[in-house]
Structure 1
Amino acid sequence: MDLSGKVAIVTGSGRGLGRAYAEALARNGAKVVVNDVDHAAEEVAAQIGGHAVVAPVGSAETAQLLVDAAVEKFGRLDVLVTNAGILRDRVLWKMSDDDFDAVINVHLRGTFTCARAAAVRMREQGTGGSLVLISSPAGQRGNFGQTNYAAAKAGIVAMARTWALELSRSDIAVNAVVPVAATEMTKTIPAFGPLIEEAERTGEPLPDWVRRDEGLGTVGDVAELIVYLASDAAKGVTGQAIGIGGDRLALWRHPAEKQVLFADGGWSADAIAGQWDVVEPETYGIPLPVAP
């Protein structure tokens, strides 16, 4: 994919998945504004010939700072990848207001403010663009101890679908990416932590069944989807939630009615109870990996 002439912003790109995204975009020719809360952003920017903005996402001020940096340093903005995130995992009855607000501010509000500032600039340019919003399997299925994170990541997918509608006339594609990769953050997820730690302990790559059946691999496995969505080859791909990890590429289904029952005149509570045994409930939560 030739991204020459394109300018991208990647939030939270000083390490982990964000860094892999920034490196992959630069490797394919894009100029990248690297963002993080510390000097790791400057180190990555120096390595890839980009520009660093050290600031926490969430506020409108940081969002505008990022867009202004892209325009002032590289002349335009074509791609935004909203990757920045934090965790404050607690079960519901132990989660504080601060735990909840901190995660929502970075993930959900940070995605909103950065996307809004980027959309304004892209519409002014009149040449289209791509917003790539990073979600999570936790947002699609829920995950124990992650009320704040799961809510934010589910909201991000909903925003992607909404913005795809609103920005279609401006030729700005909006997609959510649902990545799974071995990172410090992923190690905190009970379903994947032991697998990653074992691979790190032994120095062996993740087993084939993990890469294929669980879709868990390296950060580099995920980065290629970001490159594709940033490229002209992805023109017309919008409003989608796309999962990637290890050897797996998946399109997540939009929420839809699974079963529909009718009752003349409407439903009473007793009637609902009498019919519930014919309903096939959905599963929930991220399934635990099962070795073959």
Structure 2
Amino acid sequence: MKTLRNTTDDDFDLVVNSHLRGTFTCGRAAAARFREQGEGGRLILVGSPAGQRASFGQTAYSASKGAIVAMMRTWAAEHARIGVTVNAIVPTALTRMVATIPGLGELVDAVDRGEPVPEHVRRRGLGSPDDVAPVIVYLASAASAEVTGQAIAAGGDRIALWTHPTEVAEQLHAGGWSPEEVAEAFAGPLKGELPDHLPAPLDLGGN
């Protein structure tokens, strides 16, 4: 985990080349094969909550995973006419990758020992990698032919759909804007419309 000021060029390139370029290269090859076969196909990419919301200390990883979901949406639009669906899984599983997140280390250790994930944790969308597999199986099947361009959260007892980025507020000013008028808009009508940029605190209480 490295914040922006501690992330070197090599750190950034290693992560981006692995996650983003790796996904691009494999996706391009798969799409070419699907086109040659002429029978449609299924592309299933792997995103992360880190690419959907703020993830402190994960500049390169967040950038890569956010870009993967963006590529997914574009690829879904590009390949719909040849019967290829493209979706992204956004998994939340108790693996070693999340062991350093406060409150999760002991749960990861328990899963590694083969212990079941507590029910109240599963209800909050955290489980084992096995909980993600059924969603992937479905997306790879013929039954999912109408599902494309989606970022799908999967973990524990929960699946959910992430929204596509969309505008949440607007202001119009005839003739355009001066910097002072922009400031007035953000101090006035737009002030209460600013989305929260931080993820909700992780609550693993038993209630």
| Partners of 1:140 and 1:286 in 2: CA distance | 12
Residue in 1 that maps onto 2:40: 128
Match of 1:229 among 139, 143, 151: 139
Say whether 1:186 aligns with 2:186. no
Say whether 1:281 aligns with 2:195. yes
| Partners of 1:136 and 1:200 in 2: CA distance | 20
| Partners of 2:203 and 2:53 in 1: CA distance | 15
Match of 2:64 among 149, 152, 160: 152
| Partners of 1:233 and 1:202 in 2: CA distance | 35
Residues 264 and 192 of structure 1, relative CA distance in 2, 3 Å threshold: farther
Match of 1:195 among 107, 115, 124: 107
Residues 263 and 133 of structure 1, relative CA distance in 2, 3 Å threshold: same
Task: Give the Å deviation of 1:202.
Answer: 7.8
TM-score, normalised to structure 2, is: 0.89
Amino acid at match of 1:185: M
Task: Give the match's secondary structure for 1:175.
Answer: strand
| Partners of 1:270 and 1:256 in 2: CA distance | 22
Residues 273 and 235 of structure 1, relative CA distance in 2, 3 Å threshold: closer
| Partners of 2:46 and 2:56 in 1: CA distance | 20
Task: Give the Å deviation of 1:266.
Answer: 2.9
| Partners of 1:205 and 1:135 in 2: CA distance | 25
Match of 1:119 among 10, 14, 31: 31
For the 8 Å contact 1:103–1:148, the answer to whether it is kept is yes
Offset from partner CA, 1:76-95 (integer Å, 9 cap, x none): xxxxxxxxxxxxx3111111
| Partners of 1:207 and 1:148 in 2: CA distance | 32
Matches within 5 A, 1:24-35: none
| Partners of 2:112 and 2:94 in 1: CA distance | 13
Task: Give the match's secondary structure for 1:188.
Answer: coil
Matches within 5 A, 1:30-41: none
For the 8 Å contact 1:144–1:285, the answer to whether it is kept is no
RMSD of aligned residue pairs (Cα, Å):
1.9
Residue in 2 that maps onto 1:96: 8
Residues 171 and 202 of structure 1, relative CA distance in 2, 3 Å threshold: closer
| Partners of 1:202 and 1:175 in 2: CA distance | 32
Match of 2:167 among 234, 250, 257: 257
Amino acid at match of 2:75: W
Offset from partner CA, 1:242-274 (integer Å, 9 cap, x none): 111000010111111112223333332332343
Residue in 1 that maps onto 2:77: 165
| Partners of 1:264 and 1:98 in 2: CA distance | 47
Structure 2, unaligned runs of 5 or more? none
Residues 120 and 191 of structure 1, relative CA distance in 2, 3 Å threshold: farther
Match of 2:86 among 167, 174, 189: 174
| Partners of 1:223 and 1:206 in 2: CA distance | 16
Structure 1, unaligned runs of 5 or more? 1-88
Task: Give the match's secondary structure for 2:56.
Answer: coil
Match of 2:18 among 106, 126, 131: 106
Aligned length: 202
Say whether 1:207 aligns with 2:118. yes
Task: Give the match's secondary structure for 1:185.
Answer: helix
| Partners of 1:189 and 1:112 in 2: CA distance | 29
| Partners of 2:76 and 2:136 in 1: CA distance | 17
For the 8 Å contact 1:191–1:286, the answer to whether it is kept is no
Q: Report sequence identity in percent.
A: 53
| Partners of 2:187 and 2:53 in 1: CA distance | 28
Amino acid at match of 1:221: D
Offset from partner CA, 1:75-117 (integer Å, 9 cap, x none): xxxxxxxxxxxxxx31111111111100000100000000001
Residues 251 and 270 of structure 1, relative CA distance in 2, 3 Å threshold: closer
